[in-house]
Amino acid sequence: MREKILTLARAVSAAKEAEDALLESLCEAARLRWEARLRPGLAPEDCGTAFACAAAFTAAADLAAGRGGGAVGAFTAGEISVKGRGAAEAAALARDLRQTAEELMAPYAKEARFCFRGVRG
């Protein structure tokens, strides 16, 4: 499962070789977070391909957030233009990847940010 998650995360994030160690750690962290959120009685294997995809998307989102935006947004030299990803675009990409992971795991995972408190009457 770990290798499958890492392979998918590499594809989604277009990680460079220099980012491999970081991405591997992010994949492991994402796998553990999703395992902790599984509904009682479920294992990652019970989720089909959704678990590996969600962990990969989460790791790719964390990598995108860590990359942030480049110092130079865009520049042109003659007829050649180069455009980098800005901080806002990196944040939007990370948000979208996390949202996709949540949607994939919705049938299998407990809510991440739900808190119910009693109200005194």
Q: What are 26-68's pLDDT values in tens digits?
A: 999 999 999 999 999 999 999 999 999 999 999 999 999 888 6
pLDDT exceeds 50 at position 71: no
**Is residue 118 assigned to a domain?**
no
- What is residue 70's predicted lDDT score, i.e. its pLDDT? 52
Residue-level pLDDT at 121: 65
pTM above the 0.85 mark?
Answer: no
Give the count of domains, the chain.
1
In a domain, 11, yes or no: yes
What local confidence, expressed as pLDDT, does residue 36 receive? Answer: 96
Query: Does 116 map to a domain?
Result: no
Spatial distance between the Cα atoms of 108 and 97, rounded to a whole number of angstroms: 18
- Residue 112 belongs to some domain of the structure: no
Note down the domain range covering 72: 2-105
Domain membership flag for residue 14: yes
Euclidean distance between CA atoms 11 and 8, whole angstroms:
5
User: Is residue 120 a part of any domain in this protein?
Assistant: no
Helices (H), 17-49: 20-37
Whether residue 119 lies inside any domain: the answer is no
Q: CA-CA distance, 54 to 4, in Å (whole number)?
A: 12
Is 117 a member of any domain?
Answer: no
